[in-house]
Amino acid sequence: MSDYYDVIVIGGGAGGLTAASGAAAFGAKTALIHEGPLGGDCLWTGCVPSKALLHTAQLIHSARRAAPFGFTQTTPLDYTKIREHYLKAIRVIQKHDDPARFEGLGVTIFPGKGAFVDDRTVMINGQQQITGDRIIIATGSRPFIPSIPGLQKVGYVTNETFWEMTDLPKRWLALGAGPIGLELGQALRRFGCEVTILERASTILANEEPETVGHLRAALEQEGIHILTNATATYFAKHKQAIQVTLQIEGRVQQLVVDRILVAAGRVANTAGLNLEQAGVEVDEKGRVVVDQQLRTTRKHIYAVGDVNGRMPFTHVAGAEGKAAISHALFHVKSKLDYDTIPTVLYTDPEFVQLGWTEQEARRRGVRCQTYRLSLDQVDRFITDDEANGLLKVVTDHKGKILGAQAVGRGAGDLLQEVVFAKHFNHKIGALSQVIHPYPSRVGAVQQTADLYWREKLFSGRLNQLLKLYARLLRRWRRKGKK
């Protein structure tokens, strides 16, 4: 006979851990099935080690740029020390995902792989069955490996295996100009490697706002990163101790010799082996679990959160979806996530951040919109810090309601959070102008951008003419009063 649980969670990444701990906190008998250490991709092979690596790369880059200010860096690079730093970051943060912590919250953890027997029953490691009233799928995603002749023979690394390296090859080719390819590519370049990034589309980050993307690309290329768009790799072969790559770039065939391949060509949902068909759970053409606005699958008591549903594959989104799924599963709360209020950040330097709609998206939807644009070379703090290359854009409707925002610049992810707050709580852009910001600060860029809204309203057009008339009449009245 199967053990019964109120909630079964399959997957112990950000979404699964949030859902499991939330369910247990509200008194639900909760089971968590997870293969491998808790924490998921973000802790072990994603956000945590990559951000630690990027921080180290930024420090090294800043030291190299310090010569004009009287400091010269001469110490050779020690990759062992770099590796120690990101491994330490993993160890420290892993304590938050320790199994004992979740067991202390009341979660029963089953190490291993779960597979559906039917829509209520899950088999663990092919041996033990448990039954649940509500089931949450949170199995995440894995790297997509393109089928290119020779790739398997020459070998490659992904974001999952990159961290196992103990040395640092000199010449790199990254397949894909998404977050992984761009972030790791820039870190490698700052460590002194030669980096080429290959992208099939006509631009990097093809779905994002063109002007901010252009700023980012220019900054990366200025550091010496070779970005090839409209380009594909067609063949890989071993060449002495290196790898020879045949490329097709806008119809032309070229050869490139590198030492290591980084596959960063996207991700696929981890649904293999779950036996979803046994539960009646449908997936789309890309293998992602289909969900509704409450994150329910085609079986309404089964939910899917995080990368496995493919809606917005980021750690902070997975956590939010885990909360939303449990709220609905336990309390039938029908509120839905507004993905247009959730920012996404690319942690290159400069950072790239996207929120809601771009101007192009607003116009495509037939919305009358206005874009307020501020170049960061107009912000004093960015000038003093010699980081004035970037811009901030806020898109509104004709009444000032915030539809979206984009930014590229040092610390742009933190910078834009004030706009995220305003959009989430339906504050108009003008409200950001009324908040007094410290001077000189980077976040002052938000106020300066919002000031553009009032400048347009107050210093031009009919309202400006009326205000001028009112001020003139008021002055005349005051003069008469003095007489």
Annotated binding site: 51, 114, 139-141, 176-183, 199, 266, 307
Helices 210-222 and 179-190 cross at an angle (nearest 10°) of 30
Binding-site positions for FAD read: 51, 114, 139-141, 307
Nearest to 129 by CA among 5, 276, 280: 5
43 in Cβ contact with 93 (< 8 Å): yes
Residue 91 has φ and ψ, to the nearest 5°, of: -60, -45
Which secondary-structure segment (H or E) carries 252?
strand 252-258
Cβ contact 135:34 at 8 Å: no
Q: Which two tokens mark 373?
A: 């644009």
Q: Phi and psi for 436 in degrees, rounded to 5?
A: -80, 120
Q: How far apart are CA 77 and CA 270, in angstroms?
A: 37
DSSP at 88:
H
Q: Which residues make up each annotated binding site for NAD(+)?
A: 176-183, 199, 266
Q: Where are the beta strands (DSSP E) in 81-151?
A: 107-111, 114-116, 121-124, 128-137, 141-143
What contacts 467, CB < 8 A, 6 or more positions away?
Answer: 458
List of E strands, 293-368: 302-304, 344-346, 351-356
